[in-house]
Amino acid sequence: MRKSSIQHTLALLVATFMFALTAVANGKFVLVIDPGHGGKDAGAIGKVAKEKTINLNVALAFGRMVESGCPGVKVVYTRKSDKFVTLQERAAIANRNHADLFISIHTNAVARGRNVVGTETYTLGIARADENLEVAKRENSVITYEDDYQERYEGFDPNSPESYIIFEFMQDRFMEQSVELARLIQSQYSAHAGRQNKGVKQAGFLVLRETSMPSVLTELGFISSPAEERFLNSKQGQEKLARSLYNGFVKYYKQQSKGGSPVVRQPAPVAETVQPEQPEASAPVQPVELAKPAKQASVKPVFKVQILVSDRKLSAKDARLKGLKNVAYYRDGKQYKYTCGSSSSFQEMQQLRKQLSKRFKGCFVVAFEGDRRVDLDEARRRAK
């Protein structure tokens, strides 16, 4: 672990040196905006919305504001569509573009049954609080979507507290700037968007570890809170959050621009570019070949645990399904959504969800009546 840490530090020093050589010749301030998750990685999932969509909408709106309001800034995105990008590649995009600043945009979540709201922004460091470590674990778990992640990330295990010891020994050369940017963003979330300020925090995020410039990871709110999910998924909410990021960035940009005030003007309106996610339409359930659940004879609600989403139909021998019983899938557009278990008891599936959550982060209970997926709360009322 110490050897790989030293190698990583040397690599970052080389990247910083190259950055310094090119910064003088580069007239524009380079901002890299990183919408978290994407593609096969949906991130946290609410009752209606998906984290990957919220992140992308806010990121694009924020970027358009900077592009129209700050002519001296070049905006680079790690993704501009619903596609999967590895954490390593996200950081590499920032390093290749000799970025002056890296902002990674995410949406938070906690276990069902807890109602937590508010925004928080992270800089790189050791997680002193358990809740900070849990956020880092959830965001870093995206690497498990990569086939060779253990080799690529030098044996890093996103679910092992021991793996985070490496962050204790890392010196963040840009800590002062990163903390200041995080403070400005958090202040604007409260002042402009009226969000609860949960503060500036530190945790071991791989995507921040790999960057060689001031960087932050910001959590827009909790998709697991019904009220906050409605705000996060609305056009008004997404524009307010984007404007908060823009206001915080502009304050930081002015602070960092030595030798004169940069040109900053009123950005063009971007509300029409923000597309909130719509509630999922009901889709017929189709059993996977390896385990065919019995067909329901009545329209009484049946509960299952949704464990994963795939862009293609999985093989019965797929490693992700190994050891599972009563697995089925249903089609939602071009996606295959896989479930595990089946019971008329919501509590029983909640217990199964807790067991499965160790293996499938973000899994959740869904409900069906016959072959139609239905609203979970309504199904629970009908089941009673």
Per-residue pLDDT of 166-178, as tens digits, reads 554 454 568 889 9
Q: What pLDDT is stored for residue 261 in this prediction?
A: 76
Same fold, 2-273 and 285-383: no
Q: What pLDDT is stored for residue 380 in this prediction?
A: 85
* 18 or 181: which leads in pLDDT: 181
Q: Where are the chain's structural domains?
A: 2-273, 285-383
CATH topology of domain 285-383: Alpha-Beta Plaits (3.30.70)
Per-residue DSSP letter, 215: E
CB burial class (10 A; 0-12, 13-18, 19+) of residue 316?
exposed
CATH number of the domain located at residue range(s) 2-273 in this protein = 3.40.630.40
Q: What pLDDT is stored for residue 19 in this prediction?
A: 45
- Summarised one tens digit per residue, pLDDT across range 279-335 is 554 445 454 444 444 444 456 899 999 998 887 888 888 888 888 989 999 887 777
pLDDT at 350 over 80: yes
Q: What pLDDT is stored for residue 126 in this prediction?
A: 61
The HSE-up count of residue 346 (CA atoms within 13 Å, CB side) is 17
3-state secondary structure labels for all residues of 298-341: CCCCEEEEEEEEECCCCCCCCHHHCCCCCEEEEEECCEEEEEEE
- Summarised one tens digit per residue, pLDDT across range 266-277 is 887 764 556 666
Could you tell me which residues come within 8 angstroms of residue 378 by beta carbon, excluding any fewer than 6 positions away? Answer: 367
Q: What pLDDT is stored for residue 1 in this prediction?
A: 45
The H or E element that residue 229 is part of is helix 226-232
Q: What pLDDT is stored for residue 313 in this prediction?
A: 87
Q: How far is CA 318 from CA 143, 247, 312, 314, in A?
A: 18, 47, 12, 6
Name the 3-class secondary structure at 75.
strand
Residue whose tokens read 């971007």: 270
Euclidean distance between CA atoms 182 and 159, whole angstroms: 26
pLDDT at 148 over 80: no
What is the distance, to the nearest Å, from the Cα of residue 18 to the centroid of all Cα atoms in its chain?
A: 30
Mean per-residue pLDDT over the chain, rounded: 80
- Summarised one tens digit per residue, pLDDT across range 66-120 is 999 999 999 999 999 999 998 889 989 999 999 999 999 999 998 766 788 999 9
- Summarised one tens digit per residue, pLDDT across range 215-255 is 999 999 999 999 999 999 999 999 999 999 999 999 999 99
Single-letter amino acid code for the residue at 159: N
Q: What pLDDT is stored for residue 163 in this prediction?
A: 54
Q: Do 288 and 327 form a contact (C-beta atoms < 8 A)?
A: yes
